[in-house]
Amino acid sequence: MRSLVESGFNLCCSNCRMGENRIMKIIIDTDIGGDIDDALTLAMAVRSPEVELVGVTTVGRLPEQRAAIARSILNVCGRKDVPVASGSNAPLTGAWREDDLPNQYGGEMEPLVAVSDVRAEDMLMELVQRYPGEVTIIAIGAMTNLALAIRKFPSFKSQIKSIVLMGGAYAYHYREWNIVADPEAAEVVFDSGIPLIASGFEVSLKCSIPAEEAARHAESNRTPSSLLIAKLIRRWQAVGIQRPIVLFDVIPLTTLIDPKLVKLEDRLVKVETAGKHTRGMTFTFETPLGERLPDKPNVKVCVDVDEKALMSLFMDRALR
């Protein structure tokens, strides 16, 4: 494979050159372009001094278009140094859902050429090798890229610091999209032994904003990045989505930026891959009578969030 350096990306940022190692290095693995919260999370990440974004990988149907959306956001935010790689054309089993399209993609993004030709799973491995034990992956889409990296590179699991993900439901039965899109990949990740923090569907519903309010707020700031974000929100609305923006993917990022805003509990979680009605669900083992768990807890699950403080943080960073 071609390395990122061979592809023309300088992987050192100003913080690295100055020798500052206290900032957490992150990679965002995302299905950006479907729901709007992925784009908002990426914009928030590059505006958050607590983390250093070292790469972005995209997953889902038409991953190249998704990569172009990510590249465009990074460019207007002044982060042309961050490499972006598109992922697999299909989940581990089957195909992507036909209606899962990157609805925020526009023709003006086509000339962007700064998307790496390195495969997503190869870029993940190269980056964790470059910064062994330092990289946390924020997984906010189907986990296909992660599963491929785990399967392809035996040392991947030992060199990554942790994975913080949005996926599953832990308070009730629900087939959440990031899991059901590729249950086999999610199973690989949940069973990997990599330290995991998971934010589920139910806790995310506490954090939302009317789409019109978010678009107007971004437009009022009149910066290149806020105007692009507003444009992407308008495209998301234009395909007929009427609901508020739920900040599903902002919570995993917030967990790293300000851990005080979330409450975590240790859980044993497995992914169902075979059930007729339950394929793609996350199964959390309960012990109401004090029974012994069949295995050790493998996930720190986000069970609550300070939604007022999170929304304030989000408004200040993602929409400016």
Which two three-digit tokens encode residue 194? 């990599």
Do residues 130 and 122 touch, judged by C-beta distance below 8 A? no
pLDDT tens-digit profile, the chain (320 residues): 455 544 444 444 434 333 344 689 999 999 999 999 999 999 999 999 999 999 999 999 999 999 999 999 999 999 999 999 999 889 999 999 999 999 999 988 877 655 778 999 999 999 999 999 999 999 999 999 999 999 999 999 999 999 999 999 999 999 999 999 999 999 999 999 999 999 999 999 999 999 999 999 999 999 999 999 999 999 999 999 999 999 999 999 999 999 999 999 999 999 999 999 999 999 999 888 888 899 999 999 999 999 999 999 999 999 98
Q: C-alpha dihedral over 191, 192, 197, 202, to 10 degrees? A: -30
For residue 201, count other CB atoms closer than 10 A to its CB: 22
- pTM for this one? 0.92
Task: Give counts: helices (H), strands (E), the chain.
Answer: 13, 12
Task: Give me 197's structure tokens.
Answer: 């923090």
CA–CA dist 141, 56 (Å, integer):
12
What pLDDT is attached to residue 3? Answer: 55
At 287 the pLDDT is: 85
The confidence score (pLDDT) of residue 13 equals 41
The pLDDT value given to residue 9: 46
**Would you give the end-to-end CA distance of the chain in angstroms?**
38
What's residue 289's pLDDT? 87
How far is Cα 66 from Cα 72, in angstroms, rounded to an integer? 10
- In this prediction, residue 122 carries a pLDDT of 97
User: Both tokens of residue 200?
Assistant: 């589920």
Tokens 């479907």 belong to 34
Q: What is the model's pLDDT at position 243?
A: 95
Going along the chain from its start, the domains and CATH numbers come out as 14-318 (3.90.245.10)
- pLDDT for residue 112: 66
